Amino acid sequence: MIKRLAAKKRIGLIAHDHKKVELIEWAMKNKKLLENHELFGTGTTGRLIEEALNLPVNKLLSGPLGGDQQIGSKVAEGKIDVIIFFWDPMEAQPHDPDIKALLRIGVVWNIPMACNESTADFILNSIFMTQDYDSIVPDYNNYIKRKI
């Protein structure tokens, strides 16, 4: 199945506490590119990015309060096209199962995801970020229709 991602992407921005400064600095360096897209952010991350960039951010709940799951839900509904998630691999998070679920749902729906600055740079600077893109989404009809 093909899903068309419009030239104006809907980007989910998420960062763990020890990665928030890194994500904000990255976003500030890339403001000119980000301003062409619709931004979503979890809790404090969304607020901080909105303040730093002076761009609107659709703010959801804080990650530990369900924001990661809200982003994942929007991915499953086709309402987020890209995830930029600067997560902290050196510190356990109280909501690790939510984080794993979010990463899993991004793979399930075949959307671009970056978990570090280098990958975020590659995604944001890709020619596909400025034009429509036909993404191949796996066909889950057989899974949905399966008999238990």
How many other CB atoms sit within 10 Å of the CB of residue 142?
7
- Closest to 20 in 3D by CA, of 99, 92, 85: 85
Q: Answer yes or no: 68 catalytic.
A: yes
Catalytic residue among 17, 68, 88, 134: 68
Residue partners of 130: CB distance under 8 A and separation at least 6: 7, 36
Q: Which residues pair with 64 in a beta bridge?
A: none
Note whether 19 and 49 are within 8 A (CB): no
Q: Which amino acid is at 140?
A: Y
How is residue 132 annotated by DSSP?
-
* Helix extents (H) in the chain: 20-29, 31-34, 43-53, 67-76, 96-108, 117-124, 141-145
Residue 3, phi then psi, degrees to nearest 5: -120, 125
Q: Just list the catalytic residues.
A: 68
